[in-house]
A and B are shown apart, each in its own frame.
Chain A
Amino acid sequence: MTVAVEYYVLLSAALFCIGLFGVLTRKNALMFLMSVEIMLNAANINLIAFSFYHGNLTGQVFALFTMALAAAEVAIGLGIILVLYRNFEGIDVTVPAAMRW
């Protein structure tokens, strides 16, 4: 029993949109970051599903790289959130808005 690849795409698209929704609605920097991670994982689902579909491993390997880069991104992001907390006494991303226009 195999699941048609379209369903994986739908799943990943749903996941992507969930992540996007989080990005747009969450003020907490950590939630923002998590939402981005969800979006990245949506891409991973696509990659792995299509890797299976096409019968080559390229997509799976790329998914590993994506995970690694996502981790690195989180590391940098946490660092930035840390200094954000120190400077603004909070991690609400809408607070730092001194630079505009």
Chain B
Amino acid sequence: MKKDVAVLGAGMTLFRRRLKETGKELSYLAAKQAMEEAGIQKDEIDMVVMGTAPDAFDGIHMKGENLLDGAAGANKPYVRVFNGGGTGVFAPIAGWWHVASGVADVCLVVCEEKMGSCYPHPQTAFRHIWDPILDRPLNPNLVWLFAMEMNRYMTVHNIKKEDIARIAVKNKRNAVGHPCAQLADPNITVDDVLNSEVMAWPVQRLDISPPSDGAAAIVYCSKDVVGKYTDDPIYVGGVGWNIDSTMWTNRDLYFPRYVALAAKMCYKMAGIHNPTKDIDFAEPYDPFDYKEAHHTEGLLLCKKGEAPLLTKEGVTARDGDLPICPSGGLLGVGNPIAATMGQKVCELYWQLAGKAGKRQIPGDPRVGVGQAWGDIMQMATVIALRRG
């Protein structure tokens, strides 16, 4: 790439089912926090990138336009990018190309989601993500989609439900140290997950991350000016993104090949030749517990079908060999679609900078990978951050 991109600061708001603040105000609270950590003012920001997922949640058409003043975008070049659930990592990728191309020196990335506006339940808006001709007449519920993918994954690899439930337990316990967390629970057990209400088998209530309101933000700058702000910068090592066919019923769902392709693109850019060795910790997207396993495999961090075993053996614990979702992930902290940048990218930064407080992973992590996944099980976005 042309110019190295450094992360200067990050911020995020509380994640809850419904927050009092408007989308603009949430964006402001997250952006301001990131700017304070980075030590910059609004007039130092050259450009702003907004990442926010479906308009149908906030209930505002062209909601990027509506949110822009809260993201410090007033009277600035401002653009919104979007690819469903993948936005949480895609917006920071877009921010990366603003700086890496040399067009901007300092770029603010804000992600916001307000799922609570959709009344009575965001499920109403999720209904409109399906194909209108083939799927919507069957009145599908979003959970079905993931239940079907989970079932395929479990059946092909012959994985036990309890091995997957362990992931939910790990993440909800990890989230205990996170001030924004919605569903942290220090005492949760595998039995709690297995005995929770069956929504759409094999998906049970505690396998799912909750819909939330929230926002997150990060500040980037180019290597040329980084000396002005910090002596110990964290850099973006590589980025990758990839999309599969709209026709989700035309492919085998047991392995996310698009995640693997995005990961390869990212690793190539970051000079990661041996992912299992070179990567110190990861934040794969975990809206459902099986998704963490699915994506760990997609990120080439283990062999196909082996990810649940890693958790069983304690490898993915915060003090394990390969900590996964040390933030608590979506399962523990909450799932405000795009604003999950807070767990998937901000967390990488805080961990690498040694600022994660109670959630800090031991040792001396140098490379972390974050990933998000979106659209109708077809989009993968991957980012790698490194220290020094």
A binds B: no
Chain B residues packing against A (C-beta within 8 Å): none
Chain A residues packing against B (C-beta within 8 Å): none
